[in-house]
Structure 1
Amino acid sequence: MTAPNKPFAEVIGDPIAHSKSPVIHNFWLNALGVDAEYRAVHVTPDGLAAYFADRRADPAWRGCNITVPHKIAALDHVADPGDVRGSIGAINCVVRAEGEVLVGTNTDAAGFYAPIADLDLDGAPVVVIGAGGAARAILFALARMDVGRVTILNRNPLKGAALLASFGLKGEALPLTAPIPPAALLVNASVLGMAGQPPLTIDLDPLPDDAVVYDIVYAPLETPLLAAARARGLDVVDGLEMLIGQAAAAFEMFFGQAPPRDRDDALRTLLTS
């Protein structure tokens, strides 16, 4: 348990045991010598309101990161001065403002963008798998990168089509079983392939030889999707890239200072050992 009055932050989700966020944030806290703690808390959908009510009353609580399945539902329990609901439509981070005011924000979009900032995707076709909270942040970022047609593969194609329209992206939404079209970038924004979840089975043959495959799943780090992409000789981006990127933005909001990103190599070694 956290000592009384000791600042702390958390990550919440259902499930949560797979989360690497405590390792990341506590690594940074220790490196900086900050007397605070970061931990994982299992919160079910039915317990979400009670969680925020409890933390709102604890001044030592600095905020939380949010993972599946709460990224959309959490919006109903916090303030939204930046209108994240109207832009991305999902939050992955809640920060204490003044007193008992809790503010929702989203660091997923910036975390997703950072590893591919140097790619020339202007007008390029993209495939996105999934249409949940993470996909919303990714589509938000893609819309600002001026990509070309976006194809969403999702169990419910109508949900995917609605997302394309809401972000002003041209493209189409297809069932998960549909073959992918040629694309410069393929992103798995779903939980498929995560430990304990159904596998993601997809034929990468339509992708050109210079395509990039990006999987936001980080448990396991080497997903079957990334293994298949490597076997094809394609460039890949693993889930730790986005996880560390979004965590860095959250860390600064929680603890008031930037994390030591010059130690990313040591952090990745810790996360993969």
Structure 2
Amino acid sequence: MTTFVSIGSLTGSIHPSLSGVLTKRKTVLNCPIHGDYEAEGIYLGSILKTQTKCPQCEEDQREAREAVEAVMRQEAIKKEVEERVAKSRVPLEYRTKSFDSFRVLNAEQGKALELSKRFVRGWEKAKAGGYGLLFLGSCGTGKTHLACSIVAALIANHQFLFPKYYRTSEIFSAVRKSYVPGSQTSEDEVLNYFSGIELLVIDEVGVQKGSDAERRILFSILDTRMTSNKPTILLSNLSAEGLCSLLGDRLYDRVRSKCVPALFVGQSMRKPATPDLFD
């Protein structure tokens, strides 16, 4: 059954072969997938100009397009996060690490994992108050894994956050380069750069020689960050007493007032390399 509805006449300057009456006609058609449906066609005289398609097919196609677009958006977001993690200077070994891949082998590691997740959830408060974390413990117990997981999680959650990861040796090297004749940056500019990063992860605190110059550099950066409410995550193989000796009582006290401590204990989780790696 076909229903005719007059839309209007085409007259005036239109070519004679196109002149006529536009009509809207409803016709029952059959979709090989979804069965009968009511189609609406626009006719010029007896010529069919446009006709609606199966509504269920069009809905399926729309959903398929949206699904593809959603996947593409997620891929774009993932790529953008990966690029920002790389720019944060997280070591290549840790760029795929996450909270989910962290192996909890003892109660202290479990507490450290929960503290790390809590820090990410409470980032806005941490940022406002300049609060950070202090990871202490022996080599290979997961300090860097969790610190880099924090960086990745925060980058994924906050589009305009640009944290940085540095080893102390890299910080000292950057400062020493400013002493080279012809350097375009001064020591103060380098110190101001490290002091101003919104979230700074400093790894291997205490591995350095412990010279007066290195102590002064570390003291300057940390003291400025603590008093300027810049969140800092410190990682060290030293004990609390050893770190206090390195930083001095006054700065260590200030660090403890701003950085929540977590103790990492146990044997190294790093697997030793074996010959079968080459097979």
Q: TM-score, normalised by structure 2?
A: 0.31
Higher relative helix content:
2
Higher relative strand content:
2
Q: Which protein has the larger Cα radius of gyration, Structure 1 or Structure 2?
A: 2
Higher relative contact order (CA 8 A, sep 6+): 2
Q: TM-score, normalised by structure 1?
A: 0.32
